[in-house]
Amino acid sequence: MTSIGQAALMVSVLAAAWAAAAGFLAGRSRSVALARSAGRALVVMTVLSGIALVALARALWRDDFSLRYVAEYSSRAQEPAYKLAAVWGGQAGSLLVWLVMIGVMAVILVATARRFPVAMRGYAYGFIGLTAAFFALVTTLIANPFVRMPVGQVPADGMGLNPLLQNPWMLAHPPALLFGYAATTFPAAFALGALFSRQLDGTWIRLARRWNLFAFTLLSAGILLGAYWAYIELGWGGYWAWDPVENASFMPWLVIAALVHSSIVQERRGMFKTWNVSLALLAFLMSIFGTFLTRSGIISSVHAFGESAIGTWFGGFLLAMTILSVVAVVLHLRALRPDQPLASLLSREAAVWMVNLLFIGTTLMIFLMTIFPLLSEAAVGKQITPEPLQFTKVTRPWFLVLVVLMAIGPILGWKRANGRAILRAVAMPLAATLVLTVAALALGAREPWSLMFFASAMLATFVHVLDFGRAVRTRSTQHAESPLVSAAKLMRFHRRRYGGYLVHIGVVLTVIGVAGSSAYREEKVFEEISPGARMLVDGYELTYRGLEFVQRPTYDAAAVSVHVRPPHRSVTYALVPEMRLYRRGNQRTSEVSLLPTWLPTSPRHLRRTGEDLYVILAAIDTRTGVASFQIVREPFVNWLWLGGLVMLFGLHWAAWPTREEVYLLAEDVAGLAAPARA
């Protein structure tokens, strides 16, 4: 089966290369036959790369240690779920997964693109084929998962997956992020197709809308899952450290967020054409840059792969795609002129323009600070890495203004807004925000940035809720419906608008979680605690009950039992943090234990809303049971996870097709299958 997988991978290079060549020729000649051939080549490439992926998964499942990849990332004792995770746990496997994901989305595009202008479709197929050919070639020549161990050196067992990756959330985080990276290929393909075919009206942006949302959703899910994995697995009590690889996923997210907003303006007003094609291409380039950063080894990171020759390939591909993108945009600047100028700075178009400036400005700052070690090494011969707090200080004002604009946006009208109408619309939300901010001050909130983020988040919440309430009241009066029925129908028939509102509410909850946990986080260390001793942390009473030794197939663990009684409560909860020693590689990890508290016990304890008590076993003497603990109180942190889920649901709701669109999709698929049946 591995030989079949290797052969399928090699042939997929040819299929992708033909898709690229036929696609570009179809775009140039406007040949329907060539476009159809390019689409079929993408389908063939997907099938072949899928066969290769199945072959790799089968080798991992069957412990085929004759493959170097299996020997390095799996072992006989490894749990079946983590044998699956090993498919993307190594460099070669993750690139193969990326290739397959490009193919799966390409098949969806081929099935739904029959109504696309043929030139745009051909160029889009060509760009997707070119990207797939690059990944297939790199996976075949540089990072091939089917390379065999030398004869006579096949081990009896493998090294196993990195213990830090043996976590349930790692079954979802890497695939989601890889899927998000791969999905940025498609808005870029639409943009280049529109540029090369000179069809720069609103057609391409409408066709790309769901692909933009799809990429945005996947990147959001990948970042959220990665943050939660870091929070529960790395054992430091945080979820974001401005690590280079974290930044590499955040930058395309920021760019896609800008694209999602500005594409609405092009659809409605025929403006921001240059912005949109540039943002679509920049999101793709940032995804490739993130991969280059992760795999080149030029910057150290806890998430990154080791240094390898693959970085040179990705660096060359990034440079070539950057040149192609810049040339394509510059050559078509005249055709990208807006249909009408910006009429007023007090309008929704102007607000989106400012949002774009903030998103791209923030991206640029993060980019420069991320590569600052390289810049400093070139300048002074020494890598100087900015501290996480420096990233926070630089980006914090920009994010605050973004939240404020998010609050004002729904109030503003198109073309030119009326100042008095804006003041009337914002008066009640602003008054409610001031009342809550004063209440927060009275209850002891003092950190300035936290208060400003809280106030802007509350303002955004009230604006969105009141606007939706007015719409419900109007519809209920006009159609003689109950408010609940009107609300449900508004959500159903206006998915884009109110799905966007849900996304904004999710962002508000996330802002509250980040601001609150950053401002009021408390940490205490207790050293040499004997069984039976008590520890007090801001009203929590923790009792260390004892030590137990645990044996698992891949590791041995010292698990300690800690009983926790939250403040003003009589209930006691048992937490079990662990210190693990993985037998292969002799690697130690610390497994934390959490006690979440959603509701405060009184108004005076509002800072405990959505709080986690985070218990880390820092050290243990296995003979005496004497242990050292690090206890972290993380207020508001669960608002972050809740906000992420609400945001993902809102994106899903906004992108979900209507019944008519489902029928059109079924017709397209039937039309695609009909020639094959004939």
Q: What is the pLDDT of residue 658?
A: 65
Q: Exposed (0-12), middle (13-18) or buried (19+): which is 198, by Cβ within 10 Å?
A: exposed
| Average pLDDT for 415-431 | 81
The Cα–Cα gap between 406 and 238 comes to: 27
The Cα–Cα gap between 176 and 220 comes to: 9
Q: What is the pLDDT of residue 663?
A: 58
CA 356, distance to chain mean position in Å, is 19
Summarize pLDDT for 504-536 with one digit per residue, the tens.
999 999 999 998 888 888 899 999 899 999 999
Summarize pLDDT for 269-287 with one digit per residue, the tens.
888 999 999 999 999 999 9
The Cα–Cα gap between 400 and 404 comes to: 6
Mean pLDDT, the chain, rounded, equals 88
pLDDT class for 98, splitting at 50, 70, 90?
Answer: very high
Question: Quick one: tokens of 154?
Answer: 């096949």
| Average pLDDT for 665-671 | 51
pLDDT at 478 over 80: yes
Summarize pLDDT for 145-170 with one digit per residue, the tens.
999 988 888 888 888 888 888 888 88
| CA-based max dimension of the chain | 82
The Cα–Cα gap between 633 and 523 comes to: 6
The Cα–Cα gap between 106 and 129 comes to: 9
pLDDT at 302 over 60: no
Q: What is the pLDDT of residue 342?
A: 80
pLDDT class for 666, splitting at 50, 70, 90?
Answer: low
Q: What is the pLDDT of residue 677?
A: 36
- Which amino acid, residue 114? R
Q: What is the pLDDT of residue 165?
A: 86
pLDDT at 615 over 50: yes
pLDDT at 675 over 50: no
Summarize pLDDT for 175-187 with one digit per residue, the tens.
999 999 999 999 9
pLDDT at 489 over 80: yes
| Average pLDDT for 358-365 | 95
Lowest-confidence region among 196-205, 322-331, 361-370: 196-205
Summarize pLDDT for 46-63 with one digit per residue, the tens.
999 999 999 999 999 999
| Average pLDDT for 409-424 | 78
Q: What is the pLDDT of residue 420?
A: 77
What is the four-CA torsion angle of 644, 392, 614, 648, rounded to 10 degrees?
Answer: 10
Q: What is the pLDDT of residue 138?
A: 94
pLDDT at 253 over 80: yes
pLDDT at 660 over 90: no
CA 41, distance to chain mean position in Å, is 30
Summarize pLDDT for 573-590 with one digit per residue, the tens.
999 999 999 887 788 888
pLDDT at 212 over 50: yes
Q: Exposed (0-12), middle (13-18) or buried (19+): which is 29, by Cβ within 10 Å?
A: middle
Which has more confidence, 415 or 499?
499
pLDDT class for 672, splitting at 50, 70, 90?
Answer: very low
pLDDT at 547 over 80: yes
Which has more confidence, 539 or 508?
508
Specify the residue for token string 């884009």.
496
Q: What is the pLDDT of residue 455?
A: 93
Lowest-confidence region among 50-54, 293-297, 470-474: 293-297
Q: Exposed (0-12), middle (13-18) or buried (19+): which is 262, by Cβ within 10 Å?
A: buried
Question: Quick one: tokens of 93?
Answer: 């496997």
- Which amino acid, residue 46? T
Q: Is 318 helix (H, G, I), strand (E, B) or coil?
A: helix
Q: Could you tell me what percent of the chain has a pLDDT over 70? A: 94
Q: What is the pLDDT of residue 186?
A: 95
Burial 626-642 (b: 16+ CB within 10 A, else e): bbebbbbbbbbbbbbbb
Q: What is the pLDDT of residue 603?
A: 60
Question: Quick one: tokens of 165?
Answer: 């990756």
Residue 670: other Cβ atoms inside 10 A: 11
pLDDT at 114 over 80: no
Question: Quick one: tokens of 595?
Answer: 């006690």
Q: What is the pLDDT of residue 306?
A: 52
Q: Could you tell me if 262 and 276 are in contact, meaning their C-beta atoms sit under 8 angstroms apart?
A: yes
Residue 120: other Cβ atoms inside 10 A: 26
